[in-house]
Structure 1
Amino acid sequence: MDRAALNRVLLHPAAKPLLWLLCLLPLAGWIWGGFSNGLGANPAETILRGTGEWTLRFLCVVLAVTPLRQWSGLHALARWRRLLGLYVFFYSVLHFLAYAWLDMGFDPAAIVKDLAKRPFALVGFLGFMLLIPLAATSFNRAIKALGAVRWQRLHRLVYAVAGLGLLHFFWMRAAKHRYDEVLAYALVLAILLGWRLWHRLRAARAAR
């Protein structure tokens, strides 16, 4: 299948609903696991860890859209970026709710105390808070209200979110001396962010 045909497939009206369903598969898996006793010996940890990891995975996917679009010429991928970004926020909300409910019993005082006591929890919470304005301005009306330049500047917060998310994940895995997954995510994010830096520097040199 050539590039033009792939672009037509990606632009097909059924493509976006299919993407919605694919992005909901992790949630469906946890729901099914809850009803079938398939969440392991510690269901709370399974859900808490799973929602956090899927937040990081979707973040990597979002950051990969632009490089993949430019490398492959599949410009139709651009229409999926904001939807995928909303799923980053969706799974981060699930992750925070799992923490607030399963770990803290929805006790605001306990949450505040825990955030002050455990740096990795505070870092994760800061990353979650930075996602809120990105999700709130992920619609066409917000782009028009802010203006394209200010909107783009605001959405560069995603790089800070990526750094905070990776640090949060590192601190969680460091407690168990498990660094293999951290290194994998760090490598992926380094490649994606390094590509952006290289692309920006090349554009700056070309503009001189």
Structure 2
Amino acid sequence: MLNATRHSRIQPMLAKALLHPAAKPLVFVASLLPFAWLVYGAFTDNLGANPAEYLTRSTGDWTLRFLCLTLAVTPVRVIAHLPTLQRLRRMLGLFTYFYVVLHMLTWSWFDQGFDVADMAKDIAKRPFILVGFTAFVLLTPLAATSFNRAVKAMGAKRWQALHKLVYVVAGLGILHFFWMRAGKNDFAEVAVYAAILAVLLGWRVREAIRKRSHQGSSFSVRS
């Protein structure tokens, strides 16, 4: 009873906070903090013995983190009854793309020197690079069509079908991370991200099954 009362008080407060004009700017600034820290570390020579590897690894980690945050918006919105949370999903998704672009740039610059021929060879030669590059390619149209005009131009159904590619991207991202860590036999972080994404995607599967069964039972009643 006390928990229900507490929830009934907190939920409207959170909904109001999410609608505050400062909510989006605050999330925007917070999302830029990892980038600002990396820039600061680069200029102050505070990125360890191998700055290039640190930057590549960190931008990859933040890509996965923002992907998890983006996919978490819908379950949290539904479970916590916070429809206003949805207004942050697009921004978080675009920051996912922002960090994956930085991840690609650090690899292209520090590992390949922006040599297109060498980049193509590396993609073909190393499976984990191929998987990561594929995830980047699939994520690009999602970022490009994340605006209202794109939804209107494509139509809601086609837009939703396209954006379901994010689930494929999530799987490829985990596979990329797994193969990258396989060389060092270090799978602890991989397991954490895999578990989080499994829960987020599993919730969606359960909801889809529940909706289908509900629609089926409704059809039976009408028949």
User: Structure 1-normalised TM-score?
Assistant: 0.99
Which residue number in structure 2 is paired with residue 135 of structure 1?
Answer: 143
Which residue number in structure 1 is paired with residue 192 of structure 2?
Answer: 184
63, 71, 83: which one aligns with 1:63: 71
* Superposition deviation, residue 155 in structure 1: 0.2
Asked if 1:15 corresponds to 2:28, the answer is no
Q: Give, in whole Å, the separation in 2 of the partners of 1:58 and 1:194.
A: 18
Q: Give, in whole Å, the separation in 1 of the partners of 2:13 and 2:196.
A: 29
Q: Give, in whole Å, the separation in 2 of the partners of 1:37 and 1:108.
A: 29
* 1:137-190 Cα distance to aligned partner (Å, 9 max, x none): 000000000111111110000000000000000000011000100100110011
150, 155, 160: which one aligns with 1:147: 155
Q: Give, in whole Å, the separation in 2 of the partners of 1:63 and 1:2.
A: 23
Which residue number in structure 2 is paired with residue 108 of structure 1?
Answer: 116
Secondary structure of 1:73's counterpart equals coil
Aligned residues: 208
Which residue number in structure 1 is paired with residue 209 of structure 2?
Answer: 201
Aligned AA for 1:79?
R
* Superposition deviation, residue 3 in structure 1: 1.2
Asked if 1:72 corresponds to 2:88, the answer is no
Q: Give, in whole Å, the separation in 2 of the partners of 1:5 and 1:50.
A: 34
* Superposition deviation, residue 2 in structure 1: 2.4
* 1:29-64 Cα distance to aligned partner (Å, 9 max, x none): 011101221101100001000000100110011110
Structure 1 runs not aligned, ≥5 long = none
Structure 2 runs not aligned, ≥5 long = 1-8, 217-223
For the aligned residues, what is the CA RMSD? 0.7
* Structure (1 or 2) with the larger CA radius of gyration: 2
Percent sequence identity over matched residues?
58
Which residue number in structure 1 is paired with residue 5 of structure 2?
Answer: none
Q: Give, in whole Å, the separation in 2 of the partners of 1:122 and 1:183.
A: 21
Aligned AA for 1:36?
T
* Superposition deviation, residue 74 in structure 1: 1.3
Asked if 1:32 corresponds to 2:37, the answer is no
Secondary structure of 2:201's counterpart equals helix
Q: Give, in whole Å, the separation in 2 of the partners of 1:165 and 1:6.
A: 31
